[in-house]
């Protein structure tokens, strides 16, 4: 089994991120993260990707 987490990096998703990380660790499962970039962020796509990578580190 694997754990999949979809996030857009906003502050209110931090609890879901923490839960997914802990669940994956506890059950020794792979964690796959999907970082969602909505259409309204298209004009600053590169900046959004850089921010996403910061959250994952």
What pLDDT does 9 receive?
76
- Residue 20: exposure state from Cβ atoms within 10 A (0-12, 13-18, ≥19): buried
Among 31, 35, 36, residue whose Cα is nearest residue 18:
31
Instruction: Let me know: does 17 contact 5? Beta carbons within 8 Å.
Output: yes
d(CA 41, CA 18): 24
What is the per-residue pLDDT across 18-36, written as a single tens digit (0 to 9) for each?
Answer: 999 999 999 999 999 888 7
CA–CA separation, 54 and 39 (whole Å): 21
Does the predicted model carry a pTM greater than 0.75?
A: no
């Amino acid at each position: 089994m694997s754990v999949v987490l979809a996030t857009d990096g906003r502050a209110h998703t931090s609890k879901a991120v923490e839960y997914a990380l802990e669940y994956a660790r506890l059950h020794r499962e792979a964690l796959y993260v999907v970082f969602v970039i909505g259409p309204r962020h298209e004009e600053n796509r590169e900046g959004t990707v850089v921010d996403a990578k910061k959250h994952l580190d």
